Structure 1
Amino acid sequence: MSNHSPITPNLSDSGIRYFQAYEESLGLWPVHYKAFYVSTRFGQTHIIASGPEDAPPLVLLHGALFSSTMWYPNITDWSSKYRTYAIDIIGDMNKSIPADLCGTRAGYAEWLLDVFDALEIEKSHMIGLSLGGLHTMNFILRASERVESAAILSPAETFFPFHHDFYQYALSLAEADGVENFLKWMMADRNLLHPIFVEQFHTGVMWQDRSRQPKPKADGFPYVFTDDELRSVKVPILLLLGEHEVIYDPQSALHRASALVPGMEAEIIKQAGHVLSMEQPQYVNERVLDFFSK
């Protein structure tokens, strides 16, 4: 089901600019990689694979608007132990090409099952940040037999609702200085993202493509899982939150998650905010590998 030839979708000028910026961001990827597409019922899914082909699999799911290129500070360590598959989440701004995006939680789990099957992954470790963390928890609840263990980083909602500031900043992204204001709100002065990556984020915000912006649905995302759903988790989970998280109160999220998810390990990381894998990569890289090796 793999398609290793480049797919050229029918892109607008803003889409072409985005694809160019994505390729430039991939120049920050510090290890050998193979980029390719796999077919799913919901469209073509773009994947960046690194690490030894015979190593155990590790699936990476990125944050909204950041795409798989966001893992460049982490991939050297993680792909030294695993065959990593950084998956561009279908329907978000990245190189995946949605064809039939249902936008429901059940549908997103079906999409990821298609990806696992196409990659011939029977069971994998998973890491998801923000939107990717939400997808990871959703997949665990619907296909736990396919997940070895998971690290969920700064998940979007999942355990606790967004602070109203999140919507204010997110809805202002396309305005003048919107990207700058959003990143400053989210990261303050703790970390300067690489200018090439910031340019990719900016072009993603400016890319007008209705097929990639599903309207919120009651049975879609964002979503806070119920007590019963969280109590039913059967997979070992590591939850990492930043002490400077702004999308919700990290202590409240940690408290609810720890109280409900069986056997979960949870930690609040110092000197980190929402994008903790980019803000404190060395610590996060080692913490995750240590958890997976148990």
Structure 2
Amino acid sequence: MSTSKTFVGLFLIIILIGCGSSKETKFDDYVFKTKSDKQNYTAAYDKALELWDVPYTEENVKTTFGTAHVIISGSKNGKDLVLLHGMDASSTMWYPNIKTLAKNHRVYAIDFLMEPNKSTLTAKPLSSEEIVICYNEIFNHYKLKKIDIIGASRGGWIATLLAIQKKNSIDKIVLLSPAQTFKFIDKPRKTSSALLLKLFPSEKKFSKTLKTFSTHPEKISPVYNRQFYLANKYAKSNSSMLKMTPFSDDELKSIQNPVLVLIGDKDVINSEESLERAKKYLPNAKTIMITDAGHFLSIDQSKFVNDAMINFLEKPSNFVSLQN
């Protein structure tokens, strides 16, 4: 309990300092500190998007809270699949997975409005209710019905938030080490490196953070690494993470959808307890603890994760719990 309080206290300090520094500029943006920061980051994002080895289009969808950037791939006749990225990772994080996912799906990778990416937030930071409204507006824009959804880390928390709504358009769900979804952060002291990176961004701290969250940081493309680092360097701190609290037993029980939960055995966000809670309260859950994988399991063990996701999405009733 004391480590969790320390974690929250440290995060609040970072928020206050980050907000204080942002007042020094006249640049009016809820995410980036300066206009040049945003331009530099966007250039790095575009470069990272070149890592996608499938054709794609980029579109902007107007919502009540700003403009959502969406990357679309795959056959128009494929099953609709929505991808929700991890915190500060942006939709480009799916580069090791997109070829597999787009083979039989129409994929919509959505940049979260409150984080550094190519979406633009024009309102104050969103509440949970407003996040639901925002995504439903995007789904309605594309007339998406009975979608499959994959959420990584914070994206997993958002996917779960969408799934507990009485009216939703979700069919099957894949959660990749969902943050703050089944339990609070497992090792707050270790994850503090990510918070310190926000406060004092440097290449050295970034490298340390990658080693904390990934068992194989050498697998991460240097091009993507550059974009991810700039997200931490240029973006303002915000308190939205503090609003992410684990879902109640009844909320989890309300999700009748088939759900696949994947967690790395070296993850600093989740542990075996997360999988146990998922199995206990999600009526139709399949769970796998992936060997030699950290929080960035979609990169650490991309081949195994890709196979497991496709196996589950295309044949959920005959899903075989693979072992890597």
TM over 0.5: yes
Give the number of the structure whose residues are more often helix, by fraction. Answer: 2
1:78 corresponding residue in structure 2: 101
- Cα separation, partners in 2 of 1:217 and 1:63, compared to 1, 3 Å: closer
User: Counterparts of 1:244-283 in structure 2 under 5 Å?
Assistant: 244-248=266-270, 250-283=271-304
Match of 1:92, SS state, is coil
What displacement does 1:141 show? 0.6
> Which amino acid in structure 1 is aligned with residue 208 of structure 2?
N
Query: Which of the numbers 208, 213, 234 marks the counterpart of 1:181?
Result: 208
In structure 2, do the counterparts of structure 1 residues 144 and 133 end up closer, same or farther at CA, with 3 Å as the change threshold? farther
TM-score by length of 2: 0.82
Q: What is the match of residue 80 of structure 2?
A: 57
Q: Determine if contact 1:169/1:181 at 8 Å carries over to the other structure.
A: yes
State the 1:217 CA deviation: 7.8
**Distance between the aligned counterparts of 1:133 and 1:79, measured in 2?**
19
Q: d(CA) in 2 for partners of 1:274 and 1:254?
A: 14
Corresponding letter in the other structure for 1:196? V
2:60 match:
37
Q: Which residue of structure 1 aligns with residue 41 of structure 2?
A: 18
* 1:154-190 Cα distance to aligned partner (Å, 9 max, x none): 0011001012225511221132322111111111446
CA distance in 2, matches of 1:117, 1:196: 34
SS in 1 for 2:280: helix
Q: Which 5+ residue runs of structure 1 have no aligned equivalent?
A: 1-8
Please state whether the residue corresponding to 1:172 is helix, strand or coil: helix
CA–CA distance in 1 between the matches of 2:43 and 2:118? 10
Note closer, same or farther for the CA distance 1:208–1:125 as it changes in structure 2 (3 Å cut). Answer: closer
Do the aligned partners of residues 208 and 291 (structure 1) sit closer, same or farther apart at CA in structure 2, a change above 3 Å counting? closer
* 3-state SS of 1:73 partner: coil
In the alignment, which of 239, 247, 250 is matched to residue 225 of structure 1?
Answer: 247
Counterpart code for 1:164: P
Deviation at 1:102, TM superposition (A): 4.3
1:102-146 residue CA offsets vs partner (Å, 9 max, x unmatched): 421111111110110111112200001001100000000115540
The letter of the residue matching 2:252 is L
Structure 1 counterpart of 2:222, one-letter code: P
- Which residue of 2 is the match for residue 4 of structure 1? none
- Cα distance in structure 2, aligned partners of 1:29 and 1:121: 23
Asked whether 1:27 is paired with 2:50, we answer: yes
Note the C-alpha offset of 1:50.
0.4
Deviations 1:167-219 (A, max 9, x none): 5112211323221111111114464311000100111111144xxx542487x
Q: Distance in 1 between matches of 2:235 and 2:148?
A: 34
| Compared CA separation, residues 72 and 58, structure 1 to 2 (3 A) | same
Aligned counterpart in structure 2 of residue 69 of structure 1, from 80, 92, 99? 92
What TM-score, normalized to structure 1?
0.90
- The answer (yes or no) to whether the contact 2:219–2:299 under 8 Å persists in 1 is no
Q: Could you tell me whether the CA contact under 8 Å between 1:124 and 1:147 is conserved in 2?
A: yes
Question: 1:124–1:149: 8 Å Cα contact kept in structure 2?
Answer: yes
Aligned to 1:95: 118
Where does structure 2 lack aligned partners over 5 or more consecutive residues? 1-27, 316-324
Secondary structure of 1:142's counterpart equals coil
State how far apart, in whole Å, the 1-side matches of 2:124 and 2:55 are: 31
Separation of aligned partners in 2, 1:229 and 1:157: 14
Aligned twin of 1:120:
143
Which of 187, 195, 198 is equivalent to 1:171?
195
Contact 2:116 2:235 in 1 (8 A): no
**Could you say which structure has the larger radius of gyration?**
2
Segment drifting more, 237-246 vs 226-235: 226-235
Shift of residue 42 of structure 1?
1.1
Q: Secondary structure at the match of 2:83?
A: strand
The two structures, once aligned, show a CA RMSD in angstroms of 1.8
2:213 and 2:310 map into 1 onto residues whose CA distance is 26
Query: How many angstroms does 1:101 deviate by?
Result: 4.0
SS at match of 2:292: coil
Between the aligned partners of 1:89 and 1:263, the Cα distance in structure 2 is: 27
Equivalent-residue separation in structure 1 for 2:249 and 2:132 (angstroms): 20
